[in-house]
Structure 1
Amino acid sequence: MVGHTSGALLVFGLCLQLTHAANILAVFSYSFPSPFLLVGPYMKALVHKGHQVTIISAKNHLADIDGARHIRVEMLDQLMEDFLNYDFEKDFPMSKWQQALIMAEFFYNSSRYILSDAGVQSLIQDKSAHFDMVIVQASHTDALYGFAPFYNASLVGLSVYGTAWNIDYLAGNKAPSVYEPMSPDGYSTGLGLMQKLKNWIYITEEWLLEQLVYLPTQMQLYKRFFNKSAESLYNIRRNFSLMLINQHFSLGRARSNVPNVIEVAGIHLENPSDQLDDDLQRFVDEADHGFIIFSMGMEITGKWLPPDWLLIMQEIFAQLPQRVVWKYEQAPPNKSENIYISPMLPQRELLAHPKVKLFITHGGAMSIIEGAYYGVPMLCLPMYYDHFGNADRMKHAGVAQIQGILTMTVETMTNAIKELIKNPVYAQNAQQMSERLRDQPMSSLDTAVWWTEYVLRHKGAPHMRISEDDMSFMQYYSLDFILVFFVRFGVAILIITCVGLKLLSFLLKPSHILSSVPLLK
């Protein structure tokens, strides 16, 4: 009897799991490796939960996931290769508008290669295909949002690089305190009136770039492949059910998020970390004065850096008592004995090593999260987009210093390194940040999966979102009240002013003055 009962419970449990299983389409136009460090564990977790997941992505970077259906778009890999071979020096320095034109073409091709791919077209033409949810890269590939209404599915955004004002707009988050530029280089962190005015102009310019440069090309693709009106795409852009952002308030800034914006910084930490090989293990274990990690991320190569940069770094490292583990394509000539160079490094294992003293980084989102998670002081060399904002938050939190990649010298870099290593305040602040980041009710991956399934359970969870119909721009900022108040107040002031002026003019009339004096009658 017990056996029959156990069997029945098992069958019931399986049926219950199948009942909650959903068909999910995940569309990622990323053509470089780092975003897939986050995408991989998220997709695996959804498959493990019993969902039927179809993934559209580049051929490289994301390994096959057992239980998931993969549609590989090989042209995305070619796109990245062409981009890396682009001669940026001929256009340097570029204005913000020139940068936007280049990136708009890149994102246009990303969306176009996906929508025109034979495998994707076969999926679109398959009348039996059905999806309950579409997960997309959050920004700049708006044409791909069209998959959601095509399948009448809820739309979820994944923002690997944290957030900015455009991500908040998609999530319906209009609070002024969350305004952050897409490219923070030149954006002020001050609170003065002129600084606020400058930032407003800065954000307005980015808004114009989105409306006039990025969005029109995506609109062309949307109309062509989904045969829908422009208005329908604008409606989609205002109806994301969920936005997962690779950020966390413990990393330097609390934000006034709306309920459908969920912070999931650290999903990629669920990936198993690579072990140190014997030579590298011995190199760091025997570092009497500790060691420094130097990595500019997975995508940045030597050709992106200034010509004299390599010689400057060698000179700096050669005079340090610490050993240096440097991620670089190849060992330069005359390398000093205290430097270990490799094109790939097990970064997380190195950051977790007890002898690590400092992490020199470009300030990419995942590198910053790793440095914070393991409590290591950082020296940031930001280069583009989110790097500047990430670096500034770490500096403000007292765990990092910043050096300009084009303005640094041997002296300024050496002084910064010594200060970060010798001043114990940086290590203490980094350790406190690590403790805060780790102190969460559940892992970032579990958080992402739970909220994803929450949206599935509640049919898109429209109750999580501030609807423009429920709260217009005027209502959100209480402009209706302010307008009525100032109109009434203004009318009252105008009436009082007019009466006062009339009375004053009457009192100052000579005839009135003369007639009021009895002796002059």
Structure 2
Amino acid sequence: MDSRLSFLCCCRRGNDDDDANVPDLEERRRLQLAAAEDREKSNAGRGLADPEGVKRRMQQREKAQAAIANQPVSDTGLKTVTIFPNDPDRIKSIKPSPLALYEVSNPVTREDTQRMYTAKQPFRIFQDIFEIQRRYCDATISNKTLLDSLHDVDVVISDSLYACSVILPEMINKPYILLSFTGTIVGIHTFMGAYAPTSYIPNVALPINTATMTFSQRLLNVIAGNAYANIVLFMSSKIINELRQKHNVSKHLSLFELRRKFSLFLSANDYCIEYPRPVPPYIKLVGPISVKDPVPLPPNFEEIMQNSPNGLILLSFGSELQLDEENLPEMIQGLGQLPYRVIWKTHQSVGNLPDNVKVVKWMPQSDILGHKNTVALITHCGANSMYEAAYHGIPVVGMPAMLEQKGNAVRIATAGFGLRVDFYSFKAKDIVNAVTEVTKNKKYKEAAIKISTILKSRRRQGKDAIVDWTEYVKATDGAHHLKVHGETLYFYELYNLDVLLFVVVCLYVSYRVVLGCMGMLCGSTPKPKSD
């Protein structure tokens, strides 16, 4: 499962006594072994016993945890503990940090994720994601040992996409910060699209590819966009209320009040790509967090770069998404017709590769994008890939598969440093034409360089800004002074419609009084005497 669907992080001020409050490695091993034995007994009842498999998985988990537990505390003075599902394949892929692990009885596989990401029905995607989140969140907050270990933390930080973001902090009564790693400012479980004016910000669910909308596009954006937002909020409300009822979480609060208890919403975006709009003071754009200056490449990759006299194309659809099998021949044929070398990162089995294509399962993407020989990126338009390409001034061919990625593709096109190819129904010529356009037409490179200059001009990079704001929330006891009272008003109060109505009524009454007075004065004129 994508780690974004189950990410929680807790911060405390580092000191010598902190380690005593977090279950140590031996305790975690004991708890994991007990859970594994329970699962083994359960599986045995269904004829699925595999003691050797359990043993191998436990050894993998212990090895991953031992490597992570030995990492030093961050030099910022904050000590972090990441709450994460007990999956060794996922653990080894995240940044080193002490872990507080929990067991999930029905974990999500890569196949499940691929099926979810390539589903063409948008609301089915949300249904699947929210059901996964319900299971993972339920496993998290049902773990009393884990919850007991978190009572001394200062701040909880969580992905805004995760439903547990608004529940777990409430259970341990701690302030919390929401991090948004999507390419736009949207609080799926909080304010949704409240700060995306429909007059000039297209909804990601709609086929609108410009911020300058016609009347019909604005009409569609208002009606369909609001319907989409309300349906997603309804599905979100359903699982949050279900978990609240099951675990007796702050039933005295309304769902609206619970959703708005977060301290800050930090968006890993920059207005050089995201649509500028007014936002309340508790929403901060901290900039992308995955971008960095390039470092020398490993020898095998540097050799490829040096043997790319015409330039190199980077192709990656992220860690989860894969092409449909019927589309692989078209991609291979299209890449083979390019005059560039190609590095293609994929876990798929790809055969009959042309001489100019190299398939890898891992690559230092940001460092390759920062190499002088890289000329373009073909991507699924994940937010990290979008900003890494922009940071290094690389034009983009976007091939989005799901809603968030499609919204990012629109932003790339609007910013002028890329264009879009259909992920599901492309042909080899589409790949050739798109790559030729972004590499030969100078406007894409010029736009990419301009955006790169803006991103590199930020005084504080994303990771540093997150640390700064975490310190701020701790120092101000939740930073609740940044909340906007207007959000609690009714619609007619917020826009003074009742005041406007009162003024209109007063003007009308005044108008009628004046008319009446004029009528009385005119009617009292003396009549002339008759003979």
TM-score by length of 2: 0.75
- 344, 352, 366: which is aligned to 1:326? 344
Matched, 1:388 2:410: no
**Which one-letter code corresponds to 2:128 in the other structure?**
I
Q: What is residue 229 of structure 1 aligned with on the other side?
A: 251
* 2:381 aligns with one of 357, 363, 379: 363
Deviations 1:137-189 (A, max 9, x none): 21351x44233333332121111214444359549965737996774343564
Corresponding residue for 2:317? 296
Structure 1 residues 248-304: Cα deviation after superposition (integer angstroms, max 9, x where no partner):
11224223222211112322236x9786443332122121111111111111124xx
Deviations 1:397-419 (A, max 9, x none): 11101111133223333222111
Work out the CA distance in 2 between the residues paired with 1:87 and 1:396: 27
Give the unaligned 5+ runs of structure 2.
Answer: 1-12, 23-70, 520-531
The alpha-carbon distance between structure 1 residues 318 and 371, as it changes in their structure 2 partners (threshold 3 A), is same
1:348 matched to 2:385? The reply is: no
Deviation at 1:235, TM superposition (A): 1.6
Residues 238, 181 of structure 1: alpha-carbon distance in 2 compared, 3 angstrom cutoff: farther
Match of 1:51 among 73, 78, 84: 78
- Do 1:171 and 1:243's aligned partners in 2 also have CA atoms closer than 8 Å? no
The residue aligned with 1:9 is none
Equivalent position of 2:305 in the other structure: 284
- 1:102 aligns with 128
- Whether contact under 8 Å (1:315, 1:410) holds in the other structure is yes
Q: Per the alignment, in what secondary structure is the counterpart of residue 375 of structure 2?
A: strand
Aligned residue type for 1:461: A
> Is the alpha carbon distance of 1:217 and 1:471 closer, same or farther for their aligned partners in structure 2, counting shifts above 3 Å?
closer
* 8 Å contact kept, 2:175–2:478: yes
Which residue among 201, 213, 236 is the counterpart of 2:235? 213
Alignment CA distance shift 1:53-1:323 (3 Å): closer
Taking the TM superposition and a 5 Å limit, the aligned residue runs for 1:475-486 are 475-486=493-504
Q: 1:424 to 1:465 in 2, by over 3 A?
A: same
Q: Aligned to 2:167, what secondary structure does the other structure show?
A: helix
Deviation per residue, 1:68-127 (Å, 9 max, x gap): 6421124289224462375898xx653x443333232122122122223xxx3113356x
Amino acid aligned to 1:157: L
Q: Secondary structure at the match of 1:308?
A: helix
1:489–1:108 Cα change, 3 Å: farther
CA–CA distance in structure 2, aligned partners of residues 79 and 441 of structure 1: 40
Match status 1:267 vs 2:289: yes
Which residue is equivalent to 1:253?
275
Q: What is the deviation of 1:453?
A: 0.8
Partner amino acid, structure 1, of 2:139 = Y
1:201 aligns with 2:223: yes
- 1:329/1:480 CA distance change after superposition, 3 Å: same
Residue deviations 1:289-323 (CA, integer Å, cap 9, x gap): 11111111111124xx3x43111111111121111
Q: CA deviation at 1:348?
A: 1.1
Give the distance between the partners of 2:488 and 2:458, measured in 1 at CA.
Answer: 33
Map 1:113-152 onto structure 2 (within 5 A).
Answer: 113-116=139-142, 120-125=143-148, 129-141=151-163, 143-152=164-173
Work out whether 1:192 is the aligned partner of 2:210: no
Letter in 2 for 1:123: L
Indicate conservation of the 8 Å contact 1:177/1:256, yes or no.
no
**Distance of aligned partners of 1:468 and 1:122 in 2 relative to their CA distance in 1, 3 Å threshold:** farther
Post-superposition CA distance 1:315-358 (Å, at most 9, x none): 11112111111112256332111111112221112101111111
- Residue 409 of structure 1 aligns with an amino acid whose one-letter code is K
**Which of 79, 104, 107 pairs up with 1:78?**
107
C-alpha contact (below 8 Å) 1:245/1:262 kept by paired residues: yes
Equivalent residues of 1:252, 1:396 under 8 A apart: no
Q: Distance in 1 between matches of 2:105 and 2:445?
A: 41
Partner residue, 2:34 = none
Which region of structure 1 is more displaced relative to structure 2, 80-89 or 146-155? 80-89
Partner of 1:406: 424
- 1:275 and 1:140 map into 2 onto residues whose CA distance is 36
Please give the root-mean-square deviation of Cα atoms over the aligned residues, in Å.
3.9
The answer (yes or no) to whether the contact 1:165–1:181 under 8 Å persists in 2 is no
Asked whether the 8 Å contact 1:363–1:381 carries over to 2, the reply is yes
User: Residue 425 of structure 2 aligns to a residue in which SS?
Assistant: coil
Report the Cα distance in structure 2 between the residues aligned to 1:479 and 1:174, rounded to whole angstroms.
20
| 1:397 equivalent in alignment to 2:397 | no
Structure 1 residues 52 and 197 mapped into 2: Cα distance closer, same or farther (>3 Å)? same
Residue 179 (structure 2) pairs with residue 158 (structure 1):
yes
Give the counterpart letter for 1:111 in structure 2.
C
Partner of 2:483: 465
CA drift of 1:445 comes to 1.3
Letter in 2 for 1:414: V
Structure 2: distance between partners of 1:160 and 1:55:
17
Letter matched to residue 291 of structure 2: L
Tell me, what secondary structure is at the counterpart of 1:287?
Answer: coil
1:56, 1:71 within 8 Å by CA — same for their partners in 2? yes
**Secondary structure of the residue that 2:250 maps to in structure 1?**
coil
Q: Is the 8 A contact 2:416 2:447 kept in 1?
A: yes
Structure 2: distance between partners of 1:183 and 1:286: 40
Instruction: Give, as a single letter, the amino acid of the residue that structure 2 aligns with 1:199.
Output: N
Asked if structure 2 preserves the Cα contact closer than 8 Å seen for 1:373 and 1:437, the reply is: yes
Amino acid across the alignment from 1:223: Q
Within a 5 Å distance, the mapping from 1:446-457 to structure 2 comes to: 446-457=464-475
What is the deviation of 1:485?
4.3
Q: What letter is aligned with 1:342? A: V
- Provide the residue aligned with 1:6 in structure 2: none
Aligned twin of 1:432: 450
- Output the CA distance in 2 between the equivalents of 1:111 and 1:88: 21
In the alignment, is the contact (CA less than 8 A) between 1:251 and 1:437 conserved in 2?
no
Which deviations, in whole Å up to 9, do the C-alpha atoms of 1:491-520 show, x marking residues without a partner?
778x69x99xx9xxxxxxxxxxxxxxxxxx
**Partners of 1:361 and 1:367 within 8 A in 2:** yes
- The separation in 1 between residues aligned to 2:114 and 2:446, in whole angstroms, is 42
Stretch moving more, 169-178 or 384-393: 169-178
Contact 1:274-1:346 within 8 A present in 2 as well:
no
Structure 1 residues 57 and 383: CA distance shift in structure 2, 3 A = same
Percent identity between matched residues is 23
1:344-397 deviation per Cα after TM superposition (whole angstroms, max 9, x unaligned):
221112101111111111100000010000000111011112111211111111
2:274 and 2:510 map into 1 onto residues whose CA distance is: 47
In the alignment, is residue 376 of structure 1 matched against residue 401 of structure 2? no
Letter in 2 for 1:195: Q
Q: Number of matched residues?
A: 455
Residue 235 to residue 93, structure 1, CA distance change in 2 (3 Å): closer
One-letter amino acid matched to 1:434: S
Q: Distance in 2 between matches of 1:178 and 1:398?
A: 21
Contact 2:312 2:340 in 1 (8 A): yes
* Aligned residues of 2:281 and 2:483 also touching (Cα < 8 A): yes
Deviation per CA, 1:441-474: give whole Å up to 9, x if none: 1222111111111111111111212124775543
Any gaps of 5 or more consecutive residues in structure 1? 1-15, 26-43, 503-521
- How far has the Cα of 1:421 moved from its partner? 0.8
Distance 1:359 1:319, change over 3 A: same
